[in-house]
Amino acid sequence: MEPPAPPASPPPPPDRPWHTRDPAPAVAAPTALPLVISKRLLWVNGAAYPLENIVRVYTFVLRPRKAEAVRVFVKRVVLTLLVALGIGLFTALARGFGPGQEEPSAFVGFLLQISILGVLGALIWSLVDMLAVVTASAHDVLAIETNGRSTAMVSGELRYLNELVVRIASAIDKPDAELTVTVGALTISNPSNYYFGDAVNIYGGDGHTGVSK
């Protein structure tokens, strides 16, 4: 006689309204973090933002300032070369104290060596600083602004983030809203190397005749 089959496990309870679990993260697991809406709070990487304080949810492309980095590099190179030229002129004048004066020549030689090392170090540092910006990648970003100075930013695929904008905006108007999704952690070494948010150019003086975005 065959033993009775084990009872079937009960089906999982349905998700609560406005509760979402995404089967796959938008980015690789090592940089993934949860974005949760629960009890009128938005949690992003351990930080809580009250939903009533959120004034804007949007996506944009976080782009590195590549053109500015190149311009700054050129300025630094020109300035460094001018300093090197000044040091060279000073060295040439110092060597004109007269022949046979070993102490001034030794000092001038030491100063020249230090100056050359300083110029080379400045050029290498300027090149590395420029390459760090020029080789940086753009990031698709979801930004959540509050009525204060706080802004939460996460990364992921742009289509995925655009869907989150709609879902977060819908959850803000739902008193019992709950949302659990996975997004990508945004890691930036130097924020000043990137353009953040909207870039708006206003043409004209008084009255502002036009705006180009």
pLDDT tens-digit readout, 166-210? 999 888 888 788 888 888 887 777 777 777 755 444 444 455 444
Residue 176 in any domain: the answer is yes
The residue out of 116, 134, 152 marking a domain boundary is 134
Residue range 65-93: average pLDDT? 87
63 CB neighbour count, 10 Å cutoff? 15
Question: Could you tell me the CA-to-CA distances from 158 to 42, 58, 141, 154, 187 in Å, in that order?
Answer: 20, 11, 7, 11, 17
The pTM of this model reads 0.59
Question: Could you tell me the CA-to-CA distances from 147 to 44, 54, 55, 150, 151 in Å, in that order?
Answer: 17, 6, 6, 8, 9
The residue out of 104, 134, 164 marking a domain boundary is 134
Q: How many domains does the chain have?
A: 2
pLDDT tens, residue by residue, 34-64:
889 888 889 888 888 888 888 899 998 888 8
Residue 45 in any domain: the answer is yes
Structure-token match 């655009």, residue found:
162
Q: By residue range, what is the domain housing residue 181?
A: 29-63+141-212
Model confidence at 76, pLDDT cuts 50, 70, 90, reads very high
